[in-house]
Amino acid sequence: MIFHATEISGFIALFLYASFFEWVLHRFLMHQLVWSYPFKSHALVHHGIFRSGPTYFLSQGEDLKLGKIRFAWWNAPLILGLHIPLLLWIQRLLHMNIFFGGMAALGLYYFFYEYLHFCMHVPKERWIEKTAWFSWLDSHHHMHHKRHFNNLNVVLPLADLVFGTLIPARDRLAVPERPGKALTLARALPQARP
């Protein structure tokens, strides 16, 4: 498949736009009582369970709280679907093929949001968790759990920078030791015989 400059431009522009969309959604729908569903499920439930400090992480054996990390299944089709008329209108207005690149960017951004946010609250020593980029984003997000109206971006903190809501995180919160992790480590080490 050959990608044209307009599709690539559409992808880049919409990926950057997604940072601002995420910021507005997070700031005004998820942290203010404009619509009860996103406010209740995020500000009250998610932030009520995942606070700052050790409760930032899903502790061992709390699988029932896994559903409080991700968006509901229908949020992705709704958010992406709302952008279809807008992208088609912009494409027609500019006479440029940006639709597929733009939708790909929005879909990828949404995927990154869900995956990175999940990795932040449910660490399992994945390869991505060992990167400097993820460490920085994780610290950035942990600071959001300390100060709810700051560091509203999870994926790309461009809007936080532009709108002045970025608070630099100084340290990364240490992942607590987990019994399952210690058990796996103990099995991997050679056992000393008495």
Question: 117-173: per-residue pLDDT in tens?
Answer: 999 999 989 999 999 999 999 999 999 999 999 999 999 999 999 999 999 987 777
- Averaged pLDDT for residues 2-8: 79
Q: Which of 34-38, 60-64, 153-157 has the lowest mean pLDDT?
A: 60-64
In Å, how far from its chain's centre is CA 22? 9
In Å, how far from its chain's centre is CA 52? 16
pLDDT of residue 69: 87
Its pTM stands at 0.85
More confident residue, 119 or 188: 119
Average pLDDT of the residues of the chain: 86
pLDDT of residue 162: 98
pLDDT band at residue 189 under the 50/70/90 scheme: very low
- Averaged pLDDT for residues 35-49: 92
pLDDT of residue 62: 65
The three-class DSSP label of residue 114 is helix
pLDDT tens figures, 162-187: 999 999 987 777 877 644 443 333 33
Percent of the chain with pLDDT over 70: 85
pLDDT of residue 66: 65
